[in-house]
């Protein structure tokens, strides 16, 4: 009885996106220029060496996009390979805070400090204790009050009690002019008597 399964000898090379790797290509003449066509139409010309009966391609870190790549000699496809996602990206185990900070720092390119709450300490309390800098809200509140008082002084025109307000051309103080007072009604009887 024969099983139709691939063993370790026929599975081929395992290429991971962003990691260096080598491909052994057979069936091409020595000195033939090989290139890789990527899934997004990208083209990569890897370093190659001739071995006995095969050509060895060194892809370095040039294959950054996972997917299916075609190895071509001129316009003729020679082989099709798969570039897989890094298996560490699918790891669902919980990382320790230090290893997570180190990995994130390596990806971001800057130092990362991990915070962890111990006992009854919450994350908010941990952030408050780790906070850097000075709180400025109280300074801005004092400045707002100073500007409010200054605005009130400017709006009142700097007048003091007992001082006449400046003349602006229109005044709303004092009695109404005589033209604006309503005419007195005289009775008909008084006008006929004259």
pLDDT of residue 180: 53
Q: Give yes or no: residues 102 and 124 share one domain.
A: yes
Whether residue 51 lies inside any domain: the answer is yes
Cβ burial of 146 (10 Å; 0-12, 13-18, 19+) is: exposed
Q: Give yes or no: residues 29 and 70 share one domain.
A: yes
Taking CA atoms, 189 is separated from 40, 99, 126, 183, 194, in Å, by 109, 111, 96, 17, 9
pLDDT of residue 95: 84
| CB 100 within 8 Å of CB 32 | no
Whole-number Å distance between alpha carbons of 83 and 59: 11
Whether residue 22 lies inside any domain: the answer is yes
* Enclosing domain of residue 104: 94-130
Please tell me the number of Cα atoms within 13 Å of 147 on its side-chain side. Answer: 6
Whether residue 29 lies inside any domain: the answer is yes
Task: Give the β-pairing of 76-84 and 15-16.
Answer: parallel
From the list 141, 117, 148, 139, the residue with the least C-alpha distance to 130 is: 117
pLDDT of residue 182: 58
pLDDT of residue 5: 46
Whether residue 174 lies inside any domain: the answer is no
Whether residue 173 lies inside any domain: the answer is no
| CB 54 within 8 Å of CB 78 | no
Each residue of 98-148: pLDDT tens digit? 888 898 898 888 888 877 656 556 677 767 766 766 678 899 999 999 999
Q: What are phi and psi of 19, to 5 degrees?
A: -110, 150
Whole-number Å distance between alpha carbons of 35 and 37: 7
What is the DSSP annotation of 68-130? EEEEEETTEEEEEEEEEPPGGGG--SPPPHHHHHHHHHHHHTS--------TT--HHHHHHHH
Q: Token match 């069936």: residue? A: 27
Q: Give yes or no: residues 100 and 83 share one domain.
A: no
Positions in the chain whose pLDDT score sits under 70:
1-13, 116-122, 126, 129-130, 132-134, 158-194
What is the DSSP annotation of 3-17? -----TTTS---EET
Total domain count for the chain? Answer: 2
Q: Token match 């299916």: residue? A: 68
Q: Give yes or no: residues 75 and 101 share one domain.
A: no
């Amino acid at each position: 009885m024969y099983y139709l399964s691939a063993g370790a000898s026929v599975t081929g090379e395992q290429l991971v996106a962003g990691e260096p790797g080598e491909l052994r290509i057979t069936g091409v003449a020595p000195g033939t220029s090989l290139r890789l066509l990527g899934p997004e139409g990208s083209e990569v010309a890897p370093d190659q060496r001739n071995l006995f009966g095969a050509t060895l391609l060194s892809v370095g870190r040039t294959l950054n996009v996972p997917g299916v790549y075609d190895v071509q000699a001129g316009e003729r496809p020679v082989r099709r390979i798969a570039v897989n996602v890094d298996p560490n990206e699918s790891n669902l185990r919980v990382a320790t805070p230090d290893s997570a900070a180190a990995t994130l720092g390596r990806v971001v390119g800057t130092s990362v400090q991990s915070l962890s709450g111990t006992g009854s300490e919450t994350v908010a309390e941990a952030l408050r204790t780790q906070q850097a800098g000075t709180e400025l809200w109280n300074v801005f509140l004092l400045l707002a009050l100073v500007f409010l008082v200054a605005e009130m002084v400017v709006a009142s025109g700097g007048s003091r009690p007992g001082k006449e307000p400046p003349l602006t051309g229109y005044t709303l103080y004092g009695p109404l002019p005589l033209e604006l007072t309503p005419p007195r009604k005289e009775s008909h009887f008084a006008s006929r008597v004259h």
